[in-house]
Amino acid sequence: MTGSTSALYFLVATYYTTKEGDQHFTIKYADGTGHKIRFIGTVHSGDWYHQHTLIYTDDVRYVLVPASKGSKTFHRNMHVLQWKNPHPGRMIESVVLSSDPAAPMAILVVAITGHPG
């Protein structure tokens, strides 16, 4: 990413969604500093399969994706998490997901995009 970024948007899906475990994204800035974003199941993403777990808050929006033919449900649930960059003037060098291998939740990161500052 080049230039300033005022916000990042993470398009994710989760299954076996739970609050358990230590999942987080680490934002690494070009100046060597970093920022951790804790990712909490049932807060930042609902389960991909169950429609009763759709989340809609100031920073999270659900997205319904058509399921494959023959599926037991019509849609799969994805969520967009918005993260407002506390340092919009710093260039973001990388984004790293760390997921607790002992936690039951799986996180599928589909896309990450930014909004220019």
The per-residue pLDDT for range 9-65, each reduced to its tens digit, is 999 999 999 999 999 999 999 999 999 999 999 999 999 988 788 999 999 999 998
CA distance 112 to 22: 20
First to last CA, the chain: 12
116: tokens are 């220019």
Residue type, 63: V
Domains of the chain: 5-116 (2.60.60)
Closest of 114, 81, 80, 90 to residue 28, by C-alpha: 90
pTM, two decimals, is: 0.89
